[in-house]
Structure 1
Amino acid sequence: MSLKERIKHVEERIEAACERSGRKREEVHVVAVTKYVSTEATREVLAEGIEHIGENRPQIAIPKWEALGGQGTWHFIGHLQSKKVKDVIGKFQYIHSLDRLSLALELEKRAAALGTNVTAFLQVNVSGEESKQGITPDTAADFLRETAELKHIHIVGLMTMAPIEDDPGRTRPVFRRLRELRDQLNALSITAEPLTELSMGMSGDFEVAIEEGATWVRLGTLLVGKGELT
């Protein structure tokens, strides 16, 4: 498929998932995960009107960001080392992987120094897999309390990664649990504003994630195709 065809195919599937779950299409945003494709391929994605770009390795992403003149809205979607925060602040508007207090404090310090703000998702390891990053669901409330006074980090929602399953339907309990956790946290009124966002669902399970309330889905090969990094 061409890029245009892939975009059309994904759009049809998103619309169908929204229709099945009684949701509005505009509630779901797509992050094009370009971490495995070249700068030129990323440029083509932006040219097709996809605004949101997802990357997970600063050493690969930042040269792309510079070559593209900062076009688009950039999302950091992988594990972020505290020592790399200085490299991503001011370039990535969204951090999907806030998973520890030390990272929150470093993000706050660097954002304050630049006079900017960071929109973040609290990463939660709902599945409990040891290979997955993220805090446990039962510590989410305490984490939000500990970060409530940070002025330059705006936590807007939660993020999770489901196990890879042959049957995408098996991921449903993970996505449902994240939505329920968001609602439980909102009932506690810890944050100044309610948590509204759920970053969950990738190429293999995004339709189930949408049916369970995803507001951001992260799509790589299915959307942008395969390519060699250059």
Structure 2
Amino acid sequence: MNIKENVELILKRTADAARRSGKEPEDITVIAVSKTVDFISAREAVESGISNLGENRVQEFVNKYEQLSDLNIKWHMIGHLQKNKVKYIIDKAELIHSVENLELAKEINKRAAQYNLVAHVLIELNIGEEDSKFGINEENVYDFVKSMEQFDNIKVLGFMTVAPYSENPENIRWVFRKMKEIFDKTALMNFKNADMKYLSMGMTNDFEIAIEEGSNIVRIGTAIFGARKYKEEE
């Protein structure tokens, strides 16, 4: 496995997908999902052209944040975030991708206020309505975004989703298309503290289709770092 070559290939495929959809390559943010990856491999990805790293677990996030502090990295919390762990990453995360309930939002707002900062977050949607995944259902999206207006220390910057896995990504194109429709509709509603800039969707198996349907953040693990030692899609 050659991480540098993998990064170069992903950046090329991302650029090609961007152009097919009428965007510029620089319009797409590639997050390398570095969960369970050692510091050396994560460092190699950054030195190969990746500037955004995403972590699913808070302890790993904090460890890598400290270990790689000499590099210019934007850190993303992309996994399920427990309330009692918010305090560890609130001043470190460029973007929290996984806000999907009011109690978590309250805790993020409280901890952000303690640091005198505004936390940038994405609302996680579960368009496929899979029981195994977190996220807001479509019918509750607009009320939930509206509820974020009560928080002075949160800024909603868009949506995130994890699409159902399919051997043929064309089978889930509808999920990305539906997400873009909801994203555009939300942007037109002009919620007080929402600036709909980011649509985070697409992973190793489906990121090109996600970009074609409107994604501007993709989260790539396996195609950069190889398969993990446990059975989990990325």
Alignment TM-score, normalising by the size of structure 1 = 0.94
CA distance in 1, matches of 2:90, 2:13: 34
Check whether the contact 2:32–2:53 (CA below 8 A) recurs between aligned residues: yes
> Over residues 91-116 of structure 1, what are the superposed CA-to-partner deviations in whole Å (9 max), with x where a residue is unaligned?
11210000001111100000100112
How big is the alpha-carbon RMSD for the aligned residues of Structure 1 and Structure 2? 1.5
Check whether the contact 1:31–1:52 (CA below 8 A) recurs between aligned residues: yes
> Over residues 76-127 of structure 1, what are the superposed CA-to-partner deviations in whole Å (9 max), with x where a residue is unaligned?
0000000110111111121000000111110000010011221111000000
In structure 1, the residue corresponding to 2:109 is in which secondary structure?
A: helix
Check whether the contact 2:82–2:104 (CA below 8 A) recurs between aligned residues: yes
Alignment TM-score, normalising by the size of structure 2 = 0.92
> Over residues 158-211 of structure 1, what are the superposed CA-to-partner deviations in whole Å (9 max), with x where a residue is unaligned?
001111100011111000111000111122222345412100000000000000
Check whether the contact 1:172–1:209 (CA below 8 A) recurs between aligned residues: yes
Give the gaps of 5 or more residues in structure 2. Answer: 230-234
**Structure-1 residue corresponding to 2:232:** none
CA distance in 1, matches of 2:40, 2:174: 38
**Structure-2 residue corresponding to 1:132:** 133
Give the gaps of 5 or more residues in structure 1. Answer: none
Task: Please state if 1:42 is matched with 2:42.
Answer: yes
In structure 1, the residue corresponding to 2:117 is in which secondary structure?
A: coil
Check whether the contact 2:76–2:95 (CA below 8 A) recurs between aligned residues: yes
Task: Please state if 1:151 is matched with 2:152.
Answer: yes
**Structure-1 residue corresponding to 2:116:** 115
> Over residues 121-143 of structure 1, what are the superposed CA-to-partner deviations in whole Å (9 max), with x where a residue is unaligned?
10000001111100111111111
**Structure-2 residue corresponding to 1:82:** 83
Name the aligned partner's letter for residue 137 of structure 1: E
CA distance in 1, matches of 2:68, 2:4: 20
In structure 2, the residue corresponding to 1:197 is in which secondary structure?
A: strand
Name the aligned partner's letter for residue 32 of structure 1: A
**Structure-1 residue corresponding to 2:106:** 105
**Structure-2 residue corresponding to 1:18:** 18
Check whether the contact 2:166–2:172 (CA below 8 A) recurs between aligned residues: yes
**Structure-2 residue corresponding to 1:199:** 200
Shift of the alpha carbon at 1:59?
Answer: 1.7
CA distance in 1, matches of 2:166, 2:193: 37
1:29–1:152 distance in 2 versus 1, CA, 3 Å: same
Check whether the contact 1:36–1:226 (CA below 8 A) recurs between aligned residues: no
Task: Please state if 1:63 is matched with 2:63.
Answer: yes
In structure 2, the residue corresponding to 1:196 is in which secondary structure?
A: strand
1:35–1:154 distance in 2 versus 1, CA, 3 Å: same
CA distance in 2, matches of 1:27, 1:69: 26
